Amino acid sequence: MNCKWVSNEDRNLTCSRHADSSGYCLFHKENKNKREIALFDAYIKKGEISDFTGFRFEDEFDINKIINFEYEKLKFCEATFKDEVNFSNFMFKKSVDFTNANFESYVNFKQSTFLGNCIFNKTIFNSKYVNEEVFQKSDFNGQKLIVEKCINFPRLDGIVFSPYTKFILKDTYYNEENSICGRNNYKIARIQAKITEDNENIGYYYYNERNYASNFLKSKKYNGYKDYLVNDFFDFLSKHLIGYGERPIKLLIISFSIISIFAFVYLFIGMKSLEYGLIKVNLLKNTYSLYELITFYGEAWYFSMVTFSTVGYGDIIAFGFLGKMLVCIEVFLGITIHATWTSVLFSRLIK
């Protein structure tokens, strides 16, 4: 009877090894006894196995004691590590793949060397060790290090990259408690992207770096609570208005919304037009055709647009004290957003 293990990612991927009474082979079986654990390691060495897809490692795993043979690629896809795992001081001479691997305990990559590609895709790490610097002094000389959609991916502080190694960090998120880990990892990704001239992803890394940095702003880091509030306020504006300069479309949408909303308010407060005279909609006293409402709103939108842009042609002016106050507010918003937009364009041109 063949092992009944089936991949969760590819249902056509199965195991053809002989199964025992549990229905699984030694490598995919759960709850191994001591003898089976000893045989597990021995069979890997004897068979020079390098594809560990779906394997269940239920005892401590030290790669230096197991992998002492040549291989084409190491695959730990969908592997489960129940106990501590030690990859430290090991030289990965070829590519290694940890797609969908699950590290339920501590894992260590310190002072390891990667000569090929390394992939962490949908890899799960224990949340207890998310702030551990498990890659300290690890040396990446391969073409790519890919980290995508991982859970609790640990800190990369102390990692060493070749200037030719492309580091891709995508869709890997952290809760507020572990924001410092998110900030550091995306900062490292941004720095490496600059070195490798990966301009396509620099903005994405910068946004996430700033986003996670804003989560652990503390008042004690500033001279006073007032300084903290000011910094927090401007950080909030920077994030939600322009996405830290990396999402300028937000600014365009906000600008259009401000112009449209003020135009709607002007429609009821009133404006003086050289062409139409006083434009003021009063739905309680008068009735208007759809054409009139569209025409009046078009005039109001035009007035709001030239006010927001601080051009102010003069063919339409605000009516009454309240109208003038609204104009002042809109001009202030316009100047602020213009300055912000200029800084965004300038920073992106520099990049």
C-alpha 3/C-alpha 14 separation (Å) is 8
Please say whether the beta carbons of 304 and 262 come within 8 A: yes
Strand partners, 6: 14
Q: Which amino acid is at 99?
A: T
Q: What percent of the chain has pLDDT over 70?
A: 87
CA 325 vs CA 299, 316, 318, 333: distances in Å = 19, 15, 9, 13
Please say whether the beta carbons of 26 and 39 come within 8 A: yes
Beta carbons within 10 angstroms of residue 69's beta carbon: 12
pLDDT at 220 over 50: no
Strand partners, 317: 272
What is the CA angle 37-82-158, rounded to 5?
120
Token pair in block for residue 38: 């000893």
Token pair in block for residue 115: 């000569």
Tens digit of each residue's pLDDT (9 = 90 or more) over 97-131: 999 999 999 999 999 999 999 999 999 999 999 99
Can 34-172 and 249-350 be said to share one CATH topology? no
Closest CA relative to residue 131, chosen from 175, 191, 192: 175
At the topology level of CATH, where does 249-350 sit? Helix Hairpins (1.10.287)
Counting Cβ atoms within 10 Å, is residue 1 exposed (0-12), middle (13-18) or buried (19+)? exposed
Token pair in block for residue 350: 């520099």
Token pair in block for residue 226: 């007032």
Parse the chain into domains and list their residue ranges.
Answer: 34-172, 249-350
Across the beta sheet with 277-279, what order do the strands follow? Answer: 277-279, 271-273, 316-318
Tens digit of each residue's pLDDT (9 = 90 or more) over 170-197: 999 999 889 999 999 999 999 999 999 9
SS (H, E, C) 289-304: CHHHHHHHHHHHHHHH
Helices and strands in the chain: count of H runs, count of E runs: 8, 19
CATH code linked to domain 34-172 = 2.160.20
Tens digit of each residue's pLDDT (9 = 90 or more) over 26-76: 999 999 999 999 999 999 999 999 999 999 999 999 999 999 999 999 999
Tens digit of each residue's pLDDT (9 = 90 or more) over 230-258: 555 555 666 656 555 556 677 788 889 99
Residues for the chain: how many in total? 351
When pLDDT is cut at 50, 70 and 90, the band that residue 219 belongs to is very low
